[in-house]
């Protein structure tokens, strides 16, 4: 380029004969990657083995339950627990000023009591 530095270069591309993915014994192909095969009674999704849902039970995503009601109640309880923790953190930061120094144990206890009361009101 007339004595200047070229910031790009041509690459040689070689097209080969494509082959189907093949995994060694004891591994299975999923989306082009090889993973260890799951034990009997389990099925694999990527690197994770999930247990098959027992007969007569309901699949709850990452779990199983004896009824749809138990499944829904459990999942809602788990979501509620996460929401409760988030609410407690926000309430503590807003109440005590997140950047202020060390809070006394009494202030933390008062804030926790307020959080519990507010969550009960939300329910």
Asked if residue 119 has pLDDT above 60, the reply is: no
What pTM, to 2 d.p., does this model score?
A: 0.42
CB 39 within 8 A of CB 51: no
Question: What integer is the mean pLDDT of 96-104?
Answer: 51
Asked if residue 58 has pLDDT above 50, the reply is: yes
pLDDT band, residue 78 (cuts 50/70/90): confident
Asked if residue 44 has pLDDT above 50, the reply is: yes
Question: What integer is the mean pLDDT of 67-77?
Answer: 89
pLDDT band, residue 66 (cuts 50/70/90): very high
Quote the strand ranges of 4-123, DSSP E. Answer: 27-30, 33-36, 42-45, 48-51, 58-59, 64-65
């Amino acid at each position: 380029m007339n004595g200047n530095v070229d910031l790009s270069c041509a690459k040689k591309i070689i097209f080969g004969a494509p082959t189907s993915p093949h995994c060694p014994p004891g591994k299975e192909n999923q989306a082009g990657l090889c993973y260890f095969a799951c034990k009997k009674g389990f099925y694999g999704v990527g690197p994770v083995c999930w247990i098959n849902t027992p007969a007569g039970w309901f699949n709850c995503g990452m779990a199983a339950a004896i009824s749809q009601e138990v499944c829904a109640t459990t999942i809602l309880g788990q979501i509620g627990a996460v929401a409760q923790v988030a609410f407690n953190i926000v309430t503590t930061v807003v109440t005590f000023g997140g950047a202020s120094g060390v809070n006394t144990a009494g202030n933390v206890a008062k804030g926790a009591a307020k959080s519990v009361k507010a969550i009960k009101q939300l329910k």
